[in-house]
Amino acid sequence: MLASHMKCEVEILNSLGLHARPAAEFVKTARQFSSKIFIWRGHEVFSARSILDLLTADLGCGTKCILEADGPDAEEALGRLKALLLEFVKKER
């Protein structure tokens, strides 16, 4: 399988943002893929595989950021992580 490089913009819609519990689930999911996965907030880049990075990114409700994946399963990784962000909104209701 060829390596691919993909990016997509997402908005954090959970009213509490990507706080500790959903951030931990996000990191756990990102670690399931072999692609390198990053989150860009403005000009800063954070590893999607690091809970410390995600919490440092301060991804509050309404924050727009870029998910970037580079590797053989980049498309699958971004699709799953985007879906997970939407699941967090559904879980809070």
Task: Name the residue among 74, 24, 12 with its Cα closest to residue 49.
Answer: 24
pTM: 0.91
Residue 37 phi, psi (nearest 5): -125, 130
Tell me which residues are annotated as active site: 19
pLDDT at 57 exceeding the cut of 60: yes
SS3 66: strand
CATH number of the domain to which 22 belongs:
3.30.1340.10
What is the pLDDT confidence band of residue 88, given thresholds at 50, 70 and 90?
Answer: confident
What percent of the chain is predicted at pLDDT more than 90?
A: 85
DSSP letters spanning 16-34: T-S-HHHHHHHHHHHTTSS
Number of folded domains that form the chain: 1
Overall average pLDDT of the 17-22 stretch: 92
Domain that includes residue 30, residue range = 4-92
